[in-house]
Amino acid sequence: WDGTLADTPRHTFKIYQEIFAELGKELTFADFKKYFGQDHTPLYNFLGLTPEQRKQVDGSWFRIYSKVQQSLRLYPQAKRLLRHLKESGYKIGLVTSGKEWRISQELEMFGIENLFDTIVTVEHIKKPKPAPDGLLLAAKKLKVSTTDCIYVGDMSEDIVAGKRAGMKTGIVVHGMHEHSNLGRLKPDLVIEKFNSRYFKHTKTSEPKIKPTDSRKLDK
């Protein structure tokens, strides 16, 4: 969800930038890109936050998020792509490290909550990505084999989780994360942006997924 369908990275950066400013800490977007991930510890360590300050960050997040939530946007064509897949007969699952209350609000805000056949949030699993727990749970709920699934995300952890779950993997590169290691991770599909090529296929005429060329990805 975050960074894949929803353009949340810059949105999240602004939230954390405001929170850290209240603590007397300066955060640049370059440092945010470098240290921010599913585990916030590297970012907190980089900024030298005390245990008490880390609690303050967590407590302030909801307050500031509520003020800027309406400025959140989906990536171009994301909603159209979801509708196309749904109308073409695909089952769609959402596996995210986000919390259920936030994801539910955002899906409803964009009017796409009914496009997903199952939603797995961080509360539903014991181990987050790159562990495959969330993906395996989603496949179980969808009643499909993992070998018939493709999992698309925006981080290297997504590719690792997908492979561990026995799924094909795809990665979008329109977000903020660096992807210099894609040649090593070898996702099955690399998506620069959602465009018309993804609206030409139906479940009965699926495109063949070709292995990615690691030499091209490393450039």
CATH class, domain 78-217, is: alpha beta
For residue range 147-206, what is the model confidence (pLDDT) as tens digits? 999 999 988 889 999 999 999 999 988 766 666 666 788 899 988 888 656 555 445 444
Q: Is the pLDDT of residue 15 over 60?
A: yes
Q: How far is CA 142 from CA 50, 85, 188, in A?
A: 43, 15, 22
Cβ 183 vs Cβ 64: under 8 Å? no
Domain extents in the chain: 9-71, 78-217
Residue 127 — φ and ψ, nearest 5°? -120, 125
For residue range 189-199, what is the model confidence (pLDDT) as tens digits? 988 888 656 55
pLDDT, position 93: 97
Predicted TM-score of the model (pTM) = 0.80
Q: Is the pLDDT of residue 91 over 60?
A: yes
